[in-house]
């Protein structure tokens, strides 16, 4: 079963509606997400360059978030948004179904992948009560590559201002967790 509990046991999403929304999203993400390695260039995630590696990278990002949440003292409702954003952040890594980016016949990362989930998952309409959270989840995903994000201005630090609100901090935080989970010199273990 490709559901939150069995694929991403590290994510403790307490808000039931949000949990259900993420669950529904996972049913429509591109199939390659579940099987592809974490890195197609071989530059990062050397440990996770195997079948299912991208899911392992996602889980490691969740582990990082769980350990590092105390840096910003994120509360449970903020962590709900963060866990959801992390689960979905790389689901469209190689583009949308039918238009996957390929190099020499093999799937490869699409530089614009942070921008695809908002549109690719729009058919999973969130209820009114979680609309604000879902919008923030997409904002976090769009900025998850930090200064390398496809639209640089989506990343709070690009504006050279202090991270003044919680949502900016959440974007920066997910970017950190993603980096921690992919850098060769940093080890994050899965239990
Ligand atoms: Fe990514
Ligand atoms: Fe990632």
- Measured in Å, residue 165 CA sits from the centre of ligand 2 at 23
Please count the other Cβ atoms lying within 10 Å of the Cβ belonging to residue 47.
18
- Measured in Å, residue 175 CA sits from the centre of ligand 1 at 9
Q: Which carries the bigger pLDDT value, residue 132 or residue 161? A: 132
pLDDT at 78: 98
Is residue 186 in a domain? no
What mean pLDDT comes out for the span 36-62? 88
pLDDT at 162: 66
Is residue 92 in a domain? yes
Is residue 145 in a domain? yes
What mean pLDDT comes out for the span 30-35? 96
pTM for the model: 0.93
Is residue 191 in a domain? no
- Measured in Å, residue 16 CA sits from the centre of ligand 1 at 26
Task: Read off the pLDDT band of 161 (50, 70, 90).
Answer: low
Is residue 187 in a domain? no
pLDDT at 106: 87
Q: Give me 100's structure tokens.
A: 């996957």
pLDDT at 135: 97
Instruction: Decide if pLDDT at 44 tops 80.
Output: no
Q: In sequence order, what are the residues at sequence separation of 6 or more whose Cβ sits closer than 8 angstroms to the Cβ of residue 91?
A: 25, 26, 29, 30, 33, 117, 120
Ligand nearest to the CA of 57: 2
Is residue 123 in a domain? yes
- Measured in Å, residue 114 CA sits from the centre of ligand 2 at 9
Q: Which carries the bigger pLDDT value, residue 83 or residue 186? A: 83
Instruction: Pick the range with the lowest mean pLDDT from 2-6, 107-111, 116-120, 156-160.
Output: 156-160
What mean pLDDT comes out for the span 121-146? 96
Is residue 189 in a domain? no
- Measured in Å, residue 109 CA sits from the centre of ligand 2 at 11
- Measured in Å, residue 135 CA sits from the centre of ligand 2 at 19
Instruction: Pick the range with the lowest mean pLDDT from 8-17, 59-68, 175-184.
Output: 175-184
The Cα-based distances of 190 to 9, 13, 57, 125, 143 in angstroms read 11, 19, 10, 32, 25
Instruction: Pick the range with the lowest mean pLDDT from 77-86, 98-107, 110-119.
Output: 98-107
Residue 158, domain extent: 4-180
Is residue 190 in a domain? no
- Measured in Å, residue 127 CA sits from the centre of ligand 1 at 27
The domain tally of the chain equals 1
């Amino acid at each position: 079963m490709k559901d939150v509990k069995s694929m991403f046991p590290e994510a403790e999403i307490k808000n039931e509606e949000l949990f259900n929304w993420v669950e529904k999203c996972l049913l429509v993400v591109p199939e390659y997400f579940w099987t592809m390695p974490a890195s197609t260039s071989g530059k990062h995630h050397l440990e996770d360059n195997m079948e299912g590696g991208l899911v392992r990278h996602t889980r490691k990002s969740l582990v990082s978030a769980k350990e590092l949440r105390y840096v910003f003292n994120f509360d449970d409702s903020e962590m709900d948004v963060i866990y959801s954003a992390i689960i979905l952040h790389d689901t469209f890594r190689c583009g949308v179904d039918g238009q996957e980016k390929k190099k020499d016949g093999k799937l490869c990362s699409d530089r614009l992948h942070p921008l695809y989930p908002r549109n690719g998952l729009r058919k999973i309409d969130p209820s009114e009560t979680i609309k604000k959270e879902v919008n923030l989840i997409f904002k976090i995903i769009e900025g998850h590559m930090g200064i390398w994000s496809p639209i640089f201005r989506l990343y709070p630090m690009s504006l050279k201002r202090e991270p003044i609100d919680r949502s900016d901090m959440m974007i920066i935080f997910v970017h950190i967790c993603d980096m921690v989970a992919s850098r060769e010199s940093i080890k994050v273990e899965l239990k």
